[in-house]
Chains A and B, each alone.
Chain A
Amino acid sequence: MEEDDSVSLTLHTLASIRSLIINADTPFSAISSVLDFLTGLLPRDDSPILHHVLKLLSDLSLSRNQLTPQIFESILSNLLRLQTSTDSRGRVAAESLAVLASLSERNPTAAAAFSRIDGEVFASICIGADVSSRMWMLRNAERFDLPSSVLFTLFFGFTKDPYPCIRRVALDGLVCVCEAGGFDHARAVQGCYARAVELLDDDEDSVRSSAVRAVSVWGKVLIASKEEASRRECSDAVFLQLCSVVRDMSVDVRVEVFKAFGVIGTASESIILQTLSKKVLKAGKGKKPQNRFSNESADAAAAAGVFIHGFEDEFYEVREAAVDSFHSLSVNSIEFPDEAVCLLMDMLYDDYMVVRLKALEALRHIADMGNLKIQETYMPAFLDAIIDTSENIRLTARNILKLAKLPDMKLVNKGVDGVLKSLEMYPQDEPDILSTLFLFGQNHSNFVVNIIKRFRAKLETDSGNKSEFNSRQVSAFLMFIISAPLSNKQSITSIPPLAFSYSLAMLGKFSCGLHDMMDQDTLLGYLAHCTTLSAASGTEFNKADTFLNAYRRSTAYHSGNPVLPPSKDIPAESISMASKEELDPALKPVSHIQLKVKAAWLLLQSAFSKEAIRALRACKQELSTLTANSSISNGAIKFMCQYVHLIELLAQVWPHFENSRHTSSCRSVELEMLMEELEIKLMEIRCRFTGLYTEVSLVLELVILSCMLRLYKFEICCGLSCKKKLSSTVSKLELHHEQQCTKPSDFLTETKKSLQEIGSSADKSCSRLLDLIKKFNCFSPEQFTLSGNLQCVSAELEVPGNGPYNPVSFVAGLPVAIPCEIKLLNVPRDARLWLRISRSDDTCQFVYLDPNLYNGGETEKRFMFTAVACMTPRAVVFTLQVSIGIECLFEDVCCRKHRYGPKHPVTYLCKEREVHFSLVSRTEAVL
């Protein structure tokens, strides 16, 4: 190898070096001298040669990775030298940067040194470079570790470049800087937005399309930076600015503009109205929102017909973007005009699948808000969509149909036909089609009679051949028919009982389709109900009310759409409650659980106690995953937990009452324990929650039930106290209903009626009792709306520093002080709190907590309290359990015998805390 600079270096020499580098067998000594040679060439200012040298060095690093750091170092130092020299060689510097960037991405040690290329170096090279290198540098700026201020300055400056390609790259870079976030200097944002607006008028298409993007992202930042009052004004200005380029001749620009509308996502209603009309509307005429954010005047007239142009565009990309941004605008604006919907419907005839899909999605959203009226003109488009080859389109179209309300029989028939046709063409959609028909049927229950006529004819013709296809059609018809009574009870009379019986046979299939609305058991219950009702030709409507009401409300939450008007027999108050909940989707999970509890209760009554318990446990699990939010307080969730737990206990108790009283007359220990727990839990639920409102009646009914259960089973031992409690609770509940002006439930009135009978004759009343017990309904919508201000009373108790290895010292026989740190939550004013200190041998002592300690305005209260425990035993070490309890003042039936203790039963607000004691040693005592 000749290393003499005087020898003119030819490309031929470099080519032979290249062969040395590529050859894996070249000895390392040769490679290292090649490296020396090449790095020696770097300082030369011979740009054509250096181009090849850099390439060779890059190849060398690829084939010998261990040399990468060395190569990196020499190129970097050469680059820095170049940069400091006055005559910077643009192309070589840019190429060096490219090589360094790729080296650093391959080699971690090189990456560390990469940060030596700082903003200053990069910027000076970039400014000195020629156009192609400059473009490369701007495009790849993100690969370098540069501060965003440097990037911003460079990009912002180069938007002034005379070369359009540089301007475009600079704008793209600005978009990236903006999207990376963290750049919110007010003047810079304003300047950047203004510069992008200027470039909307650029001569070059590509620059304009990048400018549109920049206007949208920087406009968004600009809007966000404004104060609340002027934000709307600002977003309108940005929107109108974008409108001015809607009629650009370049497809790319138009696509970007419509995407940008989606980014901005909101505008004043007057502007949105203007976008739907090519004629300048009166409202927009002469109204100039402002023009201080832009150089041009922003007139609402600029928005004229923007979406009409977008929807009519020749290129589907533009139409797609237009429909998409239209969708996002409709999401963000509450009032969306009807004519907008018509425009959107026209897009259903588009030749392109993607446009149709977007239009359907937008329509589904509008239907969700309850604003969709399908006219006959558009029906064919929907029916086409239902049998479209694309699965997505079919699905979206069905979703719209689920929410749609068609005005007349003709359209309903067409709709049903379309769905049946789609079922025939795409059997794989069956479950969803069934669910569609179920909801569609509910929305069109008025037309059920006509459908039944068709169904009858169908059924008769099909009775001969039972092919699979026909049974599919039959099931579809059935699904439509059986859904009708849910929204229109009277329709049940017109439905032949046969329909329900047939449906029972298809239970599996149906419940598969309806899995997101009701489970199999609910469906079974419903069908069974309907069968009896329809057989009884509808005379016993009221009995099914609770079920139907419950279901109706749950579906209303499901669809988020008040398509089902509440029927007249629901009290006005609960309607308002229901509508309140409908507005609040956050309550949905809770109402779901209520429904499940109800279903479990039904199961329990049909002697499926195991299934019921399983379902209830699932509910508990589901509840545990809920977190408190604005609409469900923590207290409400806790209340639900307690409630479900209570029902679960009842479910465990229930089988004992299923059998007749005499066959199981021996008192099972299990039952007694369960009853005990039930009562304790009942007490807890009554004491530990404040702000109970409608729930009171529910809880009191449960108390009544538990009394009756006890009375029925354990009559002999505690009949008297039980009866006393029963009658007091009944009167309390009555009082409650009077105060709240609510209707007492059937259960209560029945109980009240039979209370005297039970009192008089002990034995005969038993059957009456059982009857009453069976009558209990754990769920009725009237009782069960969770109050907003439901709070759970709870406490935390801590003995700081205490533990098995750090016990409290005591002297045997003398009282000992226990320092307690207590935190109370939501404790009501009139509460009586006790500190219970107990030993493992069941001796316990109560210490009264002075209300002055905790009665303050705030719900949460922390304080220190020193409790004195009297019973120190003669032991070296011992432990005491301390906990905080609240006296249940209403439990006035049984009294405790403690002299210094609470007069009423106590429920505990926290877990027991173990406190460790150890005998004080002599030495310690002396000290």
Chain B
Amino acid sequence: MAIDCLVLGAGQEIGKSCVVVTINGKKIMFDCGMHMGCDDHNRYPDFSILSNSGDFDSTISCVIITHFHMDHVGALPYFTEVCGYNGPVYMSYPTKALSPLMLEDYRRIMVDRRGEEELFTSAHIASCMNKVIPLDLKQTIQVDEDLQIRAYYAGHVLGAVMVYAKVGDAAIVYTGDYNMTTDRHLGAAKIDRLQLDLLISESTYATTTRGSKYPREREFLQAVHKCVAGGGKALIPSFALGRAQELCMLLDDYWERMNIKVPIYFSSGLTIQANMYYKMLISWTSQNVKEKHVTHNPFDFKNVKDFDRSLIHAPGPCVLFATPGMLCAGFSLEVFKHWAPSPLNLVALPGYSVAGTVGHKLMSGKPTTVDLYNGTKVDVRCKIHQVAFSPHTDAKGIMDLTKFLSPKNIVLVHGEKPSMMSLKDKITSELDIPCFVPANGETVSVASTTFVKANASDMFLKICSNPNFRFSNSSTQLRVTDQRTADGVLVIEKSKKAKMVHQDEVSEVLHEKDHVVSLAYCCPVKVKGESDDVGLIKQLSEKISETVSCADEIHESETCLQVGSFKGSLCLKEECVHRRGISSSCSEVKFLCCNWSVADLELGWGIINAMKQNL
């Protein structure tokens, strides 16, 4: 059996995450995102690869959305409402709650402000959300008879999950976006140690290794503090959910500690609404927030106020969180236009900015003027600070997770090609796990685990019920092994179910006789004096009991002698097959044809040597 992993989006790029995995015949779509940087047909994943007929219900078993970011959920209304997928859609409770907000916001920006063609409507969003089945953490859901899915906490944003999917014996994990270190408001990713055939991981920061978060936090706080202490205004353009809450929490704490009275504003109603969701979804936040929450909800910010448009030109210092991030449009850009010319002010940019946005221009180099979208130019004299926290894990985090899960294969998505390649090399060389970096539209096939069901014999079961330790003393250390399973033998017969039997039973099951290895040697012996055969045997027996130490009991009969399993009898054949290298020409030499079992290997050779000395 094989697992096929078809990458529809976010293959060697960031944006429109969409991976379709076929496990034992079941097709699961992980994430259904859109590309924020594209305006053409490339905006959505190419669903036509899945089915030319457009009958997605029969091809896709289920869709699982990991979190509410547009590049993970953006294409969902299109897929369900426009393309007509009617199967189950799974996402976590917070994602279900917050996705419509995000989708609606995005639709509004695209349609109302930019006047683009409407790809889905508000009604589409609503009906799409009706199809969603919410997931809870670590809840195992049986999608159908064979397919099991389970969600694990991923950090990143509120409600982000990693998804474990299992069909039969084959199991995979799709990480979505995740964070391996804890934030102020979100915890770090948590997952059990699972037996995996495939891990599909994001790799946004495939080559970055971040240091401790504390100095980074401090830098940000000091930059903002310095700005407001100098009477300046600090603008923090950010998306409504995620970094805004994180930074606000940080600032709020710092304000308390340093006893700063400068106001902190939230620009849009959306963020206030988002804060409300955060307050409700406390169980999805970090341990710290959960514990504090008993006495005080950390999302009830003490110093935060609502912003009013008239405050843009109000004198005095302030801090403003404005949407959207990256300064791509909207209110944040408007405020930037007014505040950028003053050297007192500060623009703090949290996170990643897509190329082409004002945010990206500010981060790359120190421009003195910036072109806005509509052709106006703005003098930039304010200070620019790039906040170096990201809700994505760094390279070490990816390595740590991979090491912890030790999957049989790994596929990297959601990253830039060069850095993904270097991470791929690292994974293959350091962890010795096959790693794949497929581009969009490519399929990776890996072998999957299949277990063979076998019946066990009663004897084997009985013996297995008790431990059977064996201690062995190697040169440096003591080792212990449990012999139970080692004693078992798997018997697979044609057209019969496989059976596990104990090794003692094997011959019986196979209707075969036990085979014994024994050694044979026809040993020349010299007759001393005038003695007959009986006398010779007696002589030999004396000799043996003298020289061979472990020959305890020697049984003699007329022409034979026996010690343990060693049997020797006078050989009368002219050409005995066991006679080697000695011709029978000498008449005084007689031959004793001996055989003995492997167990008495040393004893046998000991006796032979003793008898040869008699020559």
Taken residue by residue from 291 to 310, chain A's Cβ proximity to chain B (1 for < 8 Å, 0 otherwise) reads as 01000000000001100110
The minimal Cβ–Cβ distance linking B146 to chain A, given in whole angstroms, is: 23
A127 to B469, CA, bound (A): 10
- Known contacts A160-B469, A248-B404, A249-B404; decide if A278 and B480 are in contact (CB<8 Å): no
Give the segment of A191-199, A262-270, A624-632, A716-724 that binds chain B.
Answer: A191-199
Name the contact of B215 in the complex, choosing from A205, A278, A346, A384 (C-beta under 8 A): A346
* Tier of interface size on chain B: 35 or more
0 or 1 for each of B176-212: is its CB under 8 Å from A? (1 = yes): 0000111000011111110100000000000001111
B211 touches A277 (CB 8 A): yes
Determine whether the beta carbon of B480 is less than 8 Å from that of A161.
Answer: no
Contact of B213 among A128, A248, A312 (CB under 8 A): A312
A879 at the interface (CB under 8 A from B): no
A187 contacts B by Cβ under 8 Å = yes
A856 CB-CB contact with B under 8 Å: no
Q: Output the least CB separation between B462 and chain A (Å).
A: 12
A374-393 contacts to B (CB < 8 Å):
377, 380, 384
Q: Of B182, B192, B466, B474, which is within 8 A of A313 by CB?
A: B182
Residue of A nearest to B405 (CB): A249
Q: Which residues of B contact A153 (CB under 8 A)?
A: 471
**Distance in angstroms between the alpha carbons of A8 and B523 in the assembled complex:** 71
A247, chain B: closest CB distance, angstroms:
4
B477 touches A351 (CB 8 A): no
Chain A residues whose CB sits within 8 angstroms of the CB of B482 once the complex forms? 157, 160-161
Is the C-beta of B476 less than 8 angstroms from some C-beta in chain A? yes
* A292 surroundings in chain B (CB, below 8 A): 476
In the complex, which residue of chain A has the Cβ closest to the Cβ of B194? A203
Would you give the 0/1 interface string for A311-347, flagging 1 where the beta carbon is closer than 8 Å to chain B? 1111110000000000000000000000000110010
Instruction: Give every chain B residue within 8 A of A438 (Cβ-Cβ).
Output: none
User: Nearest Cβ distance between residue B588 and chain A, in whole angstroms?
Assistant: 55
- Distance, CA A205 to CA B404, complexed state (A): 12
Say if the beta carbon of A158 comes within 8 Å of chain B.
yes
**From A195, A279, A315, contact of B287 by CB (8 A):** A315
> Is residue B257 contacting chain A, with contact meaning CB distance below 8 A?
yes
Residues B287 and A161 in contact, CB atoms below 8 Å apart: no
**Given A195-B480, A313-B182, do A351 and B288 touch, yes or no (CB 8 Å)?**
yes
Contact mask B465-502 → A, CB, 8 Å, 1/0? 01101010110111111100000000000000000000
User: Which of A304, A313, A315 is within 8 Å of B396, CB to CB?
Assistant: A304
User: Considering only CB atoms, which chain B residue lies closest to A202 in the complex?
Assistant: B193
Instruction: Report the bound CA distance from A520 to B191 in whole Å.
Output: 64
The answer to the question of B258 belonging to the interface, with a C-beta cut-off of 8 Å to chain A, is yes
Chain B residues whose CB sits within 8 angstroms of the CB of A586 once the complex forms: none
- Give the chain A neighbours of B112 by CB distance below 8 A: none
Question: Residues of B contacting A343 with CB < 8 Å?
Answer: 212, 214
Report chain B residues within 8 Å CB of A305.
211, 396
B288 near A127 with CB under 8 A, answer: no
In the bound complex, do residue B477 and residue A312 qualify as a contact, i.e. CB atoms below 8 Å apart? no
Verify A190–B477 contact, CB threshold 8 A: yes
In the complex, what distance in Å separates the CA atom of A249 from the CA atom of B152? 11
Nearest-CB residue, chain A, relative to B467: A127
Closest to A299 in B: B430
Name A147-167 residues within 8 Å CB distance of B: 153, 156-161
Tell me which residues across on chain A come within 8 A of B222, comparing CB atoms.
377
Decide if B218 is an interface residue (CB 8 Å cutoff). yes
Chain A: CB-nearest residue to B475: A187
A248 to chain B: closest residue by CB = B404
Any B CB within 8 A of the CB of A188 = yes
List residues 364-420 of chain B with CB under 8 A from any CB of chain A.
394, 396, 400, 403-404
In the docked arrangement, what's the CA distance between A160 and B470, Å? 10
In the complex, which residues 423-482 of chain B have their Cβ closer than 8 Å to any Cβ of chain A?
466-467, 469, 471, 473-474, 476-482
Q: How distant is the Cα of A248 from the Cα of B480 in the complex, in angstroms?
A: 26
A191 lies within 8 A of B287 (CB): no
- Contact check, A187 vs B477: say whether CB atoms are below 8 A apart: yes
Residues of B contacting A190 with CB < 8 Å? 476-478
The closest CB in chain A to the CB of B403 belongs to A247
Complex alpha-carbon distance, A583 and B226, angstroms: 44
In contact, A278 and B214 (Cβ under 8 angstroms): no
Residue of B nearest to A194 (CB): B477
Contacting pair B258 A380 (CB below 8 A): yes
Residues of B contacting A278 with CB < 8 Å? Answer: 209-211, 394, 396
Given A313-B182, A314-B188, A160-B211 contact (CB < 8 Å): no
Cβ contact within 8 Å between B212 and A346: yes
How far, in angstroms, from A312 to B180 measured CA to CA in the complex? Answer: 10
CB distance from A290 to the nearest CB of B (A): 13
Would you call A187 and B182 a contact (CB within 8 A)?
no
**Contact, CB under 8 Å: A203 / B469:** no
Query: Please, how many angstroms separate the alpha-carbon atoms of A607 and B24 in the complex?
Result: 103
**Given A157-B469, A157-B471, A311-B212, also A247-B477 (CB < 8 A):** no
A 109-130 binary contact with B (CB < 8 Å = 1; else 0): 0000000000000000001100
State which of A157, A249, A308 has its C-beta within 8 Å of the C-beta of B193: A249
CA gap between A857 and B567 in the complex, in Å: 78
Chain B residue at smallest Cβ distance from A187: B478
CB contact between B467 and one of A157, A279, A309 (< 8 Å): that residue: A157
Complexed CA–CA distance, A716 and B182 (Å)? 92
Contact present for B190 and A249 (CB under 8 Å): yes
Asked if residues B473 and A312 are in contact (CB atoms below 8 Å), the reply is no
When distances are taken between beta carbons in the complex, the residues of chain A under 8 Å from B403 are: 247
- For A351, list chain B residues within 8 Å (CB): 288, 292
Cβ B209 vs Cβ A203 within 8 A:
no
A380–B257 contact, CB under 8 A?
Answer: yes
CB of B357 closer than 8 Å to a CB of A:
no
Q: Does B286 contact A (CB under 8 A)?
A: yes
Q: Specify which of A127, A192, A248 is in contact with B478 (CB 8 Å cutoff).
A: A192
Per-residue A-contact encoding for B219-235, CB less than 8 Å = 1, 0 else: 00010000000000000
**How far apart are the CA atoms of A316 and B287 in the complex, in Å?**
9
Instruction: Using known A-B contacts A127-B467, A249-B192, A351-B288, determine if residue A312 contacts B478 with beta carbons closer than 8 Å.
Output: no
- A127-B466 in contact (CB<8A): yes
Interface centre among B191, B195, B213 (most CB of A within 10 A): B213
List A residues 75-134 near B (Cβ within 8 Å): 127-128
Residues of A contacting B478 with CB < 8 Å? 156, 187-188, 190-192
Enumerate chain A residues within 8 angstroms of B257, measured Cβ to Cβ: 349, 380, 384
Q: Which of B288-343 contact A (CB under 8 A)?
A: 288, 292
A377-B480 contact in complex given A308-B211, A313-B182, C-beta closer than 8 Å? no
Q: Are B473 and A187 in contact (CB under 8 A)?
A: yes
Which of chain A's residues has its CB closest to B400's CB? Answer: A247
- The CA of A313 and the CA of B215, in the complex, are separated in Å by 15
Query: Which residues of the partner chain A approach B187 to less than 8 Å between Cβ atoms?
Result: 314
Nearest B-chain residue to A308, judged by Cβ: B212
A304 to B403, CA, bound (A): 14
CB pair A203 B212 closer than 8 Å: no
> In the docked arrangement, what's the CA distance between A161 and B473, Å?
20
From A191, A247, A342, contact of B404 by CB (8 A): A247
B182 touches A312 (CB 8 A): yes
Report the minimum CB–CB distance from A214 to chain B (whole Å). 14
Task: Give CA–CA (A304, B399) in the complex, Å.
Answer: 12
Tell me whether B466 and A128 are in contact (CB under 8 A): yes
Chain B residues with Cβ below 8 Å from A312 are 181-182, 212-214
Q: Please indicate the chain B residues that have their CB under 8 angstroms from the CB of A127 in the complex.
A: 466-467
Contacts of A157 in B (CB 8 A): 467, 469, 471, 480, 482
- Which residue numbers of B lie inside 8 Å of A, CB to CB? 180-182, 187-193, 195, 209-215, 218, 222, 257-258, 286-288, 292, 394, 396, 400, 403-404, 466-467, 469, 471, 473-474, 476-482
A to B CB contacts below 8 Å, 11 in the list: A127-B466, A156-B478, A157-B482, A160-B469, A160-B482, A249-B192, A278-B211, A308-B212, A309-B181, A314-B188, A351-B288
Question: In the complex, given contacts A247-B180, A312-B213, what are 8 additional A-B residue pairs having Cβ atoms less than 8 angstroms apart?
Answer: A161-B467, A187-B474, A190-B478, A191-B477, A195-B480, A314-B182, A316-B288, A384-B257
The 10 A-B pairs with the shortest beta carbon distances in the complex, nearest first, are: A191-B478, A314-B182, A190-B477, A346-B214, A157-B469, A247-B400, A160-B482, A191-B477, A308-B212, A187-B478
